[in-house]
Amino acid sequence: MLTTKRQTSTTVLYTVSTGPPVLSWGTRASQYGLLLARLLAGIFVLALLLNEYCHAFRCPQNLPGLSSALPTSPAHHNLAAWLTHALPWYYRALLATATTWLIFTKSHLEESLLVIRGLGVQTSTSSPSYLWTSTTRFIPTSSIQDIFIHEAFRGFEVRYYLSIVVEDEEDVVVVFPYTAS
């Protein structure tokens, strides 16, 4: 979904996003629901780690004190305790890592192209997780050799892409690499 932010004729920002375009009630509700799910999963991972710690260092009596320090709930503790008994340790480690990775993955991707007359162009790709910031690349106009639209095969279909040839560089810079269609 392409949005354009054009405040003057010399500065334009094109944004392509795989997220929902219109913020209706349904999409807003689903966003908040996802946020809640991430929070609950995070608390669950914390409870699991707490359980591991207690099992490793034999501290049953300290459990209430620790659990009041961290924002975990009894339901999470029961679930974590059940899992600690049910699965061997490598499955639990795998579950914890997979859940953490899922918590920090973003659900949609956003890419943008900023064109500033007299200065250059800047492409930006958002990172797939919340832990890193987006990668940007600024290309000054003096080092742009050419810009062209070319087609490429992806599976059995043909896709068009915009690419920038930068002087003294071997590879072209593809604009909107992940979201272009």
- Contacting residues toward another protein, per CB under 8 A: 5, 7-11, 13, 114, 116-120, 122, 124, 135-138, 140-142, 145-146, 148, 165, 169-171
Beta bridge partner(s), residue 121: 115, 139
Round to whole Å and give the CA distance between 33 and 38.
Answer: 9
CA dihedral 41, 46, 50, 56 (to 10 degrees): 90
Residue whose CB is less far from another protein, 64 or 118:
118
> What does each C-alpha distance from 46 to 13, 38, 61 come to in angstroms?
41, 12, 18
Residue 140 beta carbon to another protein: minimum distance, rounded to whole angstroms: 5
Q: From CA 42, how far away is CA 48, in angstroms rounded? A: 10
Give the CA distances from residue 62 to residues 55, 71, 153, in Å, rounded to whole numbers and listed in that order: 12, 15, 61
Tell me whether residue 18 or residue 122 sits nearer to another protein (CB atom). Answer: 122
State the minimum distance, in angstroms, from the CB of residue 130 to another protein.
17
Closest to another protein by CB, 99 vs 163, is 163
Nearer to another protein, 59 or 152 (CB): 152
Q: Smallest distance, Å, CB 12 to another protein?
A: 9
- Angle formed at CA 47 by CA 42 and CA 53, multiple of 5 degrees: 130
Q: How far is the CB of 19 from another protein (least distance, A)?
A: 19
**Separation of CA 54 from chain center:** 33
Quote the least distance from Cβ 109 to another protein, whole Å: 18
Q: Which is nearer to another protein, 8 or 61 (CB)?
A: 8
Do residues 58 and 64 lie in contact, with contact meaning Cβ atoms separated by under 8 Å? no
Q: Which is nearer to another protein, 10 or 27 (CB)?
A: 10
Least distance from another protein to the Cβ atom of residue 88, Å = 29
